[in-house]
Amino acid sequence: MRFAGYAAIFGRPDRGGDVIRPGAFATSLARGGSVPLLWQHAPARPIGRIDYLKEDKRGLRVIARLSDGAARFLVTRGYAGFAREEDVDLGATLRVGLVAAPKV
């Protein structure tokens, strides 16, 4: 199951009041390497892979793919329509709807 969304939105305070500005991820993205897609922020519990991760005008855009086992688990748990931010993590916070992702 592929999904797309934003791991961060620029210029909006998060629950803790932090505001992320454009360019905040530039250094990390330039280094390259993989970014884990995690279940409930647990590094030992990867649930898929990131296919695309890039800053755009709105924020940090992500397209990722859940592993088959993780997708089945989420569907049986009722998460097929929306992933809660505390359940899926990119090594930070992820707020996305589980939708068909555009081809990149």
**Over its length of 104 residues, how does the chain's per-residue pLDDT go in tens digits?**
888 888 889 999 988 899 999 999 999 899 888 888 887 778 888 888 899 999 999 999 999 888 877 767 766 776 655 445 444 444 443 333 333 334 44
Tokens of 49: 């892979």
Is residue 34 helix, strand or coil? Answer: coil
Q: CB neighbours (10 Å) of residue 13?
A: 10
Tokens of 97: 């709807």
Assigned fold of 2-97? Serine Protease, Human Cytomegalovirus Protease; Chain A (3.20.16)
pTM of the full structure: 0.66
